Amino acid sequence: MQLSGIRVIDLTRILSGPFCTMLLADMGADVVKIETPEGDPVRAQGEIVDGLSWYFASFNRNKRSVQLDLKSAAGMAALRRLIAGADVVVDNFRPGVMERMGLGWEQLRALAPGIVHTSVSGFGQSGPYVDRPAFDFIAQAMSGFMSMNGTPETGPMRSTLPISDLIAGCYAALGTAAALVRRLRTGQGERVGASLVDGLISFGAFASADFLASGKLPVPTGNDHLLVAPYGLFTASDGEIAVAPSNDAVYQKLLHVLELTHLREDPRFATNALRVKHRAAINAHVNMAVSRHDKAHWIATLNTAGVPCGTVMNLAEVYSDPQVLSQQMLLEVEHPGHGAVRMNGFPVKFSEAPCAVRLPAPDPGAHTAEVLREAGLSEAEIAAVSM
């Protein structure tokens, strides 16, 4: 696999950091999850089946768990031994905590020259908000994302999913992999940072660019597209379809499939700009036409004609969709004592050395002795820190 043999000491908990290290572990890194006696709080979150949180299971696959009391000198000594043999350390503590633990950058480098230290934070590693507690919802609010999600009627709306945590985790994994490239070529270590707010700001795309160019604030448009019409959800005989004719050529194809080619003569709809102006009128024509057949008909005929079209799927539909299953986006992972646990597959595909589930999510401290023995600790030293 891509990261086989890369040893990661994972000090993260909850979501953003564990997602980063899951991505690294899925690509073959040996991720050692350090847990305090309390364990990762996610072990007690979400649906618990026979004592196992499937949320925890899905974000901690392919990791080994070492439980250490980091308030004890022996626990910290063991952690330092592990770091000394590692390529990467990942944390999602509030900035300053690593320094207070005696694991600041200079100390890490002294332990392991060439180490890559990756930190996920709410607002970055410096600046006026550096000491604030971070949370996905707050990052959604402070990044501008909420101001653009929803509609003018709903007002600013959070995404139900914790997207700022996940984006930050993804960027942290990217930065880690890139730093490993540099390390392999130069021997140099690196400090990598990703934050919930910065990551979500970077997702502003054309909305950010247009605001910075024009000074005009973007309007949340819900299922309409600010600059394209027709576009959105339309109601077939058995439910809604999403239709996205992205440019004028695709609009012409849409008219053809919907048998609306007579609208080509209508001056109100002659250009996309005019159609945006007459959005309600063109949408009414499309809705009338779409209502004549069922979803399956339109999915087939519109896509064949080159018009992007799909149904709005709930998770039950997603996880039974033939395309999703063909991409192995639903995995069943055998957990000893718990049977098969279903979880998301791998979002990054590799043809030559694909991602794989080598290990189910670990019980707390399941690999304490094994990992410490690999690091060269004596049985007495291991016994001294075992719980």
What residues act catalytically? 165
Is position 258 an interface residue for a second copy (rule: CB under 8 A)? no
Task: Name residues contacting a second copy, limited to 202-221 (CB under 8 A).
Answer: 202-215, 217-218, 220-221
Q: How many CA atoms lie within 13 A of 348 on its CB side?
A: 16
Identified binder of a second copy from the candidate list 247, 262, 267, 337, rule CB under 8 A = 247
- Does the bond joining 230 to the residue before it have cis omega, within 30 degrees of 0? yes
Task: Name residues contacting a second copy, limited to 223-242 (CB under 8 A).
Answer: 223, 225-226, 231, 233, 240, 242
Q: Work out whether strand 232-236 and strand 239-243 pair parallel, antiparallel, or are unpaired.
A: antiparallel
Identified binder of a second copy from the candidate list 327, 376, 383, 387, rule CB under 8 A = 327
Is position 323 an interface residue for a second copy (rule: CB under 8 A)? yes
What 3-state class would DSSP assign to 297?
helix
Interface mask toward a second copy for 22-51; x: CB under 8 A: -x---x-------------x---xxx-x--
Identified binder of a second copy from the candidate list 1, 79, 260, 371, rule CB under 8 A = 1
Cβ at position 195, least distance to a second copy in Å: 7
CA–CA separation, 165 vs 116, rounded Å? 21
Burial class of 71 by CB neighbour count within 10 A (0 to 12, 13 to 18, 19+): exposed
Identified binder of a second copy from the candidate list 115, 179, 229, 260, rule CB under 8 A = 179
Is position 326 an interface residue for a second copy (rule: CB under 8 A)? yes
Is position 167 an interface residue for a second copy (rule: CB under 8 A)? yes
- Residue with Cβ nearer a second copy (155 or 376): 155
Task: Name residues contacting a second copy, limited to 60-99 (CB under 8 A).
Answer: none
Is position 193 an interface residue for a second copy (rule: CB under 8 A)? yes
Cβ at position 377, least distance to a second copy in Å: 28
Is position 154 an interface residue for a second copy (rule: CB under 8 A)? yes
Which residues lie across from 214 on neighbouring strands? Answer: none
Q: How many other C-beta atoms lie within 10 A of the C-beta of residue 309? A: 23
Cβ at position 63, least distance to a second copy in Å: 16
Is position 129 an interface residue for a second copy (rule: CB under 8 A)? yes
Identified binder of a second copy from the candidate list 151, 291, 320, 378, rule CB under 8 A = 151
Concatenate the DSSP letters of all residues of 101-169 into one string. Answer: TT--HHHHHHHSTT-EEEEEESS-SSSTTTTS---HHHHHHHTSHHHHSS-TTT-S---SS-HHHHHHH
Radius of gyration in angstroms for the set of CA atoms belonging to the chain, rounded to a whole number:
25
Concatenate the DSSP letters of all residues of 303-326 into one string. Answer: HHHT--EEE---HHHHTT-HHHHH
Identified binder of a second copy from the candidate list 133, 152, 187, 267, rule CB under 8 A = 133
Identified binder of a second copy from the candidate list 63, 78, 190, 366, rule CB under 8 A = 190
Is position 249 an interface residue for a second copy (rule: CB under 8 A)? no
- Asked if residue 26 lies in contact with residue 2, where contact means CB atoms within 8 angstroms, the answer is no
Identified binder of a second copy from the candidate list 105, 266, 281, 301, rule CB under 8 A = 105
Which residues lie across from 232 on neighbouring strands? Answer: 243
